[in-house]
Structure 1
Amino acid sequence: MTVETEHSRKYEAIKAEFPGIVTKQFECDTGWFPILREFFAVVRRVNPKGKERDFTLLQIKEKLGGLRIYYRLGKRVATAAETQIHAAYSAAEARAAGTCEVCGRPGVFRVQGGAWLLTRCEDHAEGGVPAPPSAGM
């Protein structure tokens, strides 16, 4: 199975699990998909079926070695739900910071070639070396 096929298959499974919520492709590797699934589970729990329009997924991507989930909440979203969604986003971002983007095993923040930032395990480091804590996000 090619990487692209695996990415598409896993994305489609999450999209089918959270219809109306997952409306954009993921611009990150599959190691972070379980983290995204947990985030969407919170969104679904606090913003139930039939109210999907109150949550708009704008983009999901890797940026500077970290997971970014960009979304917009409708004006009808209750404050408690908004708080829980923001907390789920913060938890996803923090968890991704210690998870290999490729395989989902424990990973560390790395610098590759002096310029590229990534979060990877040793097996998927691709020459990236662990970055000092001050280089983090």
Structure 2
Amino acid sequence: MTDKDHYITDEALRIMERFPEVYGRPPWSVKKTSLAWGFSCGDGWYPLIARLSADLAAIVREDGLTRFRAQQVKQKLGGLRFYARGGNDRTTGRIAQAQMEAARTCEHCGTQPAEKRSLGGWLTTTCDACADRLLTPRT
């Protein structure tokens, strides 16, 4: 990892490097992709993103999608956003399926059930335990 990669979590970097068909090869330039910052979501969604990435890599190989590239992976308004270019109906469908799964998976710990809620004015998908933990003032 270079000095410019320090903001990508180790787990996001591991997923991105494991699936070059989906994310391209490092280094990721901020001029070309928001992936230079890794994934902008909680760790609880990383297993879901890893499964999505494996499925997308298989679709890319099977369908010969040489121009497919993920552009950004983030949480927005409590939901998973996975932006990509060069896909087809299969990639779009699989991404939509992952977004539906994320809507009931805690972004923080990965457990189900979870629901979208506002925590301190920030929308996030959380389970009850994480919501309580995140709302409890630290002393």
Instruction: Quote the residue 1:133 is aligned against.
Output: none
Shift of 1:20: 4.4
Instruction: Could you list the structure 1 runs, at least 4 aligned residues long, displaced by more than 6 angstroms after superposition.
Output: none
Shift of 1:12: 2.1
TM-score using structure 2 length: 0.72
- Partners of 1:43 and 1:85 within 8 A in 2: yes
**Structure 2 gap segments, 5+ residues each:** 1-5, 25-34
One-letter amino acid of the structure 2 residue matched with residue 89 of structure 1? I
- Partners of 1:66 and 1:118 within 8 A in 2: yes
**Structure 1 gap segments, 5+ residues each:** 129-137
Shift of 1:56: 1.9
Instruction: Quote the residue 1:34 is aligned against.
Output: 47
Distance of 2:21 and 2:93 partners within structure 1: 21
Distance of 1:59 and 1:15 partners within structure 2: 11
Instruction: Quote the residue 1:67 is aligned against.
Output: 80
Asked if residue 127 in structure 1 is aligned to residue 128 in structure 2, the reply is no
Q: How many residues of Structure 1 are paired with residues of Structure 2 in the alignment?
A: 114
What is the percentage of aligned positions where both structures have the same residue?
31
Distance of 2:78 and 2:111 partners within structure 1: 15
